[in-house]
A = this chain, B = another copy of it.
Amino acid sequence: MADADALTELLERDAITRLMVRYADRIDANDPVGAAACFAPDGLGVYWGDFRGREAIAERLTGILAGFHATSHHLSNVQIELTGPTTATAQSYVYAFHRIKGSFEHTHYWGRWVDQLTKVDGEWLFARREVVGVGSFTPGVEAGPDDHPGHPGRL
């Protein structure tokens, strides 16, 4: 017989992973309100600045997404730690394709989603979500202010 606690944990992690997939789906559907609904009502979205609550998050995402004809956020390497019955932390990887509106150029983004999660009325939601770019640097400057190797806690 499979271990009951391990199965319960597997279901919780599966539910959280599906929340992450749903968030990317709503971003790529150009649906900022749907993406913001993946946050707890008082959740914090960190998008180069702090945005608290679904309304503020949706407004911020609307501004970001307005610049693109199409986006594709590919989720992988999901790591989840359940820290309590209704709390969890997570890190996952994202590779994102963006086609820029008007110019038909495309850009690429590699990053980490760093999350705090909360279970509200049986549903996992983001309490805090931050995206951290991998390999950022200040063009033309050694050890400039935008330098970031990207991986949280990189040695």
Binding site for B on A (CB under 8 A): 1-4, 6-8, 10-11, 14, 18, 21-22, 24-25, 28-31, 69-70, 72-79, 91, 93, 95, 97, 99, 104, 106, 110, 134-135, 137, 139, 149-155
Contact = CB atoms under 8 A, between A and B. Distances in A.
Interface of A is mostly: mixed
A95 B93 contact: no
Given A1-B4, A2-B8, A77-B74, A137 B69 contact: yes
B2 A11 contact: yes
Copy total for this chain: 3
A2 B8 CA distance: 5
Contact of A7 (B2, B76, B97, B153): B2
Given A4-B2, A134-B97, A74 B76 contact: yes
